[in-house]
Amino acid sequence: MSDEGLKKKSLEIRKEILNTSFLCGEPAHIGGALSMVEILTVLYFKVLNLNLKSPKDRFILSKGHGFLGLLSTLYVKKIITKKILNSFQQNGSEMIAHPIMNPNLGIETSNGSLGQGLSFGVGLSIANKLKNKKYKTYIILGDGECYEGSVWEAAITATENNLDNLYVFIDANGHQNDGKIGKKMNFQNLVNKWKGFGWNVKKINGHNHNEILRSLKKTKKNIPTAIVCKTIKGKGIKLMENNNDWHHGRVTRNIYKNCIKDLNEQ
User: Distance between CA 4 and CA 107 in Å, rounded?
Assistant: 27
> What's the Cα-to-Cα distance from 36 to each of 61, 149, 239, rounded to whole Å?
11, 23, 17
Question: Tell me, what's the pLDDT at 3?
Answer: 87
Question: How many CB atoms are located within 10 Å of the residue 2 CB?
Answer: 8
Which residue intervals of 26-113 are DSSP H helices? Answer: 31-34, 37-42, 67-76, 82-86
Buried b or exposed e, range 170-194, using 16+ CB within 10 angstroms: bbbbbbbeeeebeeebebebbbebb
| Contacting residues for 205 by C-beta, under 8 A, at least 6 apart | 211, 229, 230
For the chain, the residue count is 266
Residue 213 parent element (H or E): helix 209-217
DSSP character at residue 87: T
DSSP string, 217-240: H--BTTB-EEEEEE--TTTT-TTT
Provide the residue-wise pLDDT of the chain in tens; the chain has 266 residues: 888 999 999 999 999 999 999 999 999 999 999 999 999 999 999 999 988 888 899 999 999 999 999 999 999 999 999 999 999 999 999 999 999 999 999 999 998 889 999 999 999 999 999 999 999 999 999 999 999 999 999 999 999 999 999 999 999 999 988 888 988 889 999 999 999 999 999 999 999 999 999 999 988 999 999 999 999 999 999 999 999 999 999 999 999 999 998 898 87
| Residue 12, number of CB atoms within 10 A of its CB | 17
Amino acid at 206: G
Q: Are 91 and 148 in contact (CB under 8 A)?
A: no
CA distance 197 to 168: 13
Question: What domains are defined for the chain?
Answer: 3-264 (3.40.50.970)
pLDDT given at position 161? 98
Residue 131 makes CB contacts below 8 A (sequence gap 6+) with: none
